[in-house]
Every structure is written in structure tokens, then in C-alpha cells.
Amino acid sequence: MLARELTGTMRPGKPAERRLATTAPPTLNGSREAPITATLAGSRNGASEPRIGTMVDEMIARLLLPVLPPFIAHRAAAAPCYARFRRPERGAQAGGTRDRGLIRELAAQGVHDVVGVDARSIPDEVARRCLVTQIGDVLDRHLLERLRSEFELPIVFHLAALLSTRAEFVPETAHEVNVQGTLNLLHLAVDEARSLGHPVKFLFPSSIAVYGFASREAKHAAGRVAERAALEPVTMYGCNKLYCEHLGRYFAKHYRQLAAGEPSGVDFRAIRFPGLLSAFTLPSGGTSDYAPEMIHAAAQGRPYASFVREDTRIPFMAMPDAIAALLALLEAPAASLTGSVYNVAAFNPSAGELADLVQRAFPDARITFVPDPRRQAVIDSWPEDVDDAAARRDWGFSPAYDLKRAFEEYLTPNIRRRYPPR
């Protein structure tokens, strides 16, 4: 489901609790919803403990836990999420699959106080893990400025986005959310770095949608694709993600390079996620959702008609590994990083191979293949696999789940519990 995050400490002299009122952004038809009121709570003991804030969009694609990917449903505006932690070096998010999983992981560590922000109410299961929840929009710069005035924000997880399928129906809106939302947060990070006197870490979940092949033959011939190859995306989402990667690199290394002044202070780090498989978040119509959709349908005893061919092949990973990757990249020493954008992946089965695994786990599953030419064309433009050697070398990326373990130990048992026998 997608997403951004901010981390921070209460700024000196600020009250322990303050209510911020902001007007909701215009909807697609131009109308405005009722005013939004957000509560930002202070530290538990009244002192100015470090806080970390995070913003997240409904995620996305299965970015992170049924939050990214695993991740989520699409909106016309990004769904921000802010997480405040006890330690400024950590961060989390809350709106989509990935976001929710990241919040779960941070909460499980027992050292973080999280404030979740989304474009709409955050689910109770996630809200229980947050100290405070509020509603907000990554496009609302006034809200971001108010947040920055209230908290010190040393870490930003920007997970908000309109995903690939939804973005093709409203490409101009997707550009506004995906690009302008990123710019808003990058500017926030610049201002915050200057205020704090040290760099702000900015973690950005990108996507294999940045790649683009003109034909199935070219895709197959390419094999495992490295970070700098085949960067000709065919979707608005892919174009947005690729441009935002460049924006992050620019802000980190070349910001206002002809003007006198200090560096931006933005420590930009991005991961190009493959399709994400979550056992806890329902598929929301993403381009790679044919995989989780067939699993969830089989568990419910429903027939499933896949919108891709049996021979369709792209990389995937389990949501827990996606969350672990974000946290590992967050912790990596800057000196060990040789780039700002990294591929990650765990396995790359064909749709037919996935169907066979589902059939073994759920013998009564009824899976057919009825390709949708338009969605198939998008999938065919994405690589069969990616080369993640740089991530493994620079910051120790190593997925815990291969395809077999992902099905047997993570997906199947958890999804069975979600849909008890009738």
C-alpha cells in the first residue's frame, strides 16, 4: 500500500500536546471534505524524548507488508503516516501493507512510540500499535511545516504513492501525488537537516516499474537486470519512481550546486522493490497482484482467473523480507554505500509455477488464465529478475524466505488462519 515517514523529537519549548487543524485537499471533483484535526502527543513523561515520524500512502503495491507490497489500495491523494519513536535513529510507516508491517516491526522492538498519519482512519489493528494516529496529506505543505515546527525529524520513510494500475487511469493526479509529494518531503528533509545540524536519512521505496523492455524477447534476453540498465518505464508510476530516484540523488549530492551554501543534508536511500507477497493485507489491484490474488482466492474457495499468461515471470519477495530490507538499509553506514538506489529480490517464479504451489496448498483451488492484453503488456515490460549484488555487498541484504519457505511457513499458514473453513 505505499507511504512516507518522519521521525523526530519534540522541539524545545513546545507543549506536550497540540491539536493541528488543516483543510482537506480538494477531491477529484473539486469539492473539499470537512476540516481535518490532528493530535500530536508529546512524550510519555512530559520530557522532549526523541521522536520519529513517518508518512505513508496506502501502499502500494505490495511494497511492504500487505503494506507493499504487500501493500494496498489506491487513493487520489497520498496517505501520509508519521511515526514517532523513542530513538531518533529509527523510523516507521503506517498506511499500506509495507507501512503496517514496518509499524508492527517497530512496535515489536519495544523502543518506539509511533504516531500514524494516513489520508483516512488507520485500521484498529495498526492504530493499537501507535501512540497517536491522525489524518493528513503529503501534498499539504502547511501540515508538513506544522509537523516540522513541532518535532525533530531525523528520519523520513516516504512510502506514499499512487500505484501502477491506478496511476494509468489518472496519470496527472499520479504525477502530482508521486512527484510533488516527494518534492515536499525532500524540502522538509533539507530544512530539517539545517535545523538539526546533521543529515536526515530519507528512505524511499521505489519499484521494478522503473524498468522497461520493448518486447518479451528483449526481456528474456536481459536476464537479471542491474540498477542502471533498461530504464525506460512504460507506466506513469514507473516514470514517477525513476524521476524521484533522480530527485533524491540530486538533493543528496548536487542540490543548489551553483549557489553558495552548505550541502542539503539529505541522505537519500532507495530500494527498488519487486512484487510483494503479504499474508495479512488483501490485494488491492496492483499490477503484480495476480500472485497474492490467486492465493487469497484459493483460501476462500473462490475461482480465480489470472490476468496474465502462465509463462509470465517477474521477481517477488515476502513482505517480512521487504520490511527487513528497509530497516537494514536504514542502519547501513553511509561509508559502505556505493550507490543511492538498490535492487532487491528473493525469487522469480512464473505465474504457472505459482499456480502449481497454490494448488498443492489448496487442492480445491480453481485457477485459470485469462490474460488482459493491457495489463499483460505492462508486466511484460518489467524484468524477469534483477541483480541485487550491490545490496548484498553494501548492506548485507539476504532474504530469509525463498519461494518454498515463503509458501510453507509464511503465506499458507497465515492465510489459512485468515479464512477458517466454512
Q: Which of 133, 156, 139, 126 is nearest to 37 (CA)?
A: 133
Q: Per the domain annotation, does 387 fall within a domain?
A: no
**Range 12-25 average pLDDT:** 39
Which cell numbers hold the place of 65? 507488508
Are 40 and 113 in contact, with CB atoms under 8 Å apart?
Answer: no
Distance CA 53, CA 150 (A): 11
Residue 369: Cβ-neighbour burial (10 angstroms; 0-12, 13-18, 19+): middle
Find the range with the poorest average confidence among 11-20, 279-288, 391-400. 11-20
> Is-contact 345 325, C-beta < 8 A?
no
Q: For the chain, give the percent of residues with pLDDT over 90.
A: 57
CATH number at residue 172: 3.40.50.720
pLDDT in tens, 282-316: 877 689 999 999 999 999 999 999 999 999 999 99
C-alpha atoms less than 13 angstroms from C-alpha of 29 in its C-beta half-sphere: 2
Q: Is residue 318 part of a domain?
A: no
Ranges 89-93, 290-294, 392-396: which has the least confidence: 89-93
Number of domains in the chain: 1
**Domain with 110 in it:** 4-275
Least confident range of 5-9, 104-108, 285-289, 381-385 = 5-9
What phi, psi does 176 have (nearest 5°)? Answer: -65, -50
Q: What is the pLDDT of residue 338?
A: 98
pLDDT value of residue 97: 53
Residue 224 has which C-alpha cell?
537479471
pLDDT tens-place string over residues 152-163 = 778 888 888 888
Q: Is residue 268 within a helix (H) or strand (E), and if so which, with residue range?
A: strand 266-273
Give a yes or no: residue 285 inside a domain.
Answer: no
**Whole-number Å distance between alpha carbons of 137 and 139:** 5
- Spatial separation of the C-alpha atoms in residues 137 and 177, rounded to whole Å: 10
Stronger pLDDT, 104 or 229, i.e. the higher one: 229
Lowest mean pLDDT among 2-6, 281-285, 418-422: 2-6
Tell me whether residue 169 is in a domain.
yes
The verdict on residue 187 lying in a domain is yes
Residue 148 neighbours by CB distance under 10 Å: 20
pLDDT (mean) for 251-271 = 93
Give the Cβ contact number of residue 198 at 10 Å: 12
Enter the DSSP assignment of 79.
Answer: -
| 200, part of any domain | yes
Residue 98 domain flag? yes
From residue 82, give the alpha-carbon distance in Å to each of 34, 91, 107, 374. 21, 9, 14, 36
Q: 84 in a domain, yes or no?
A: yes
Over 80: is that where the pLDDT of 359 sits?
Answer: yes
State residue 155's pLDDT score: 84
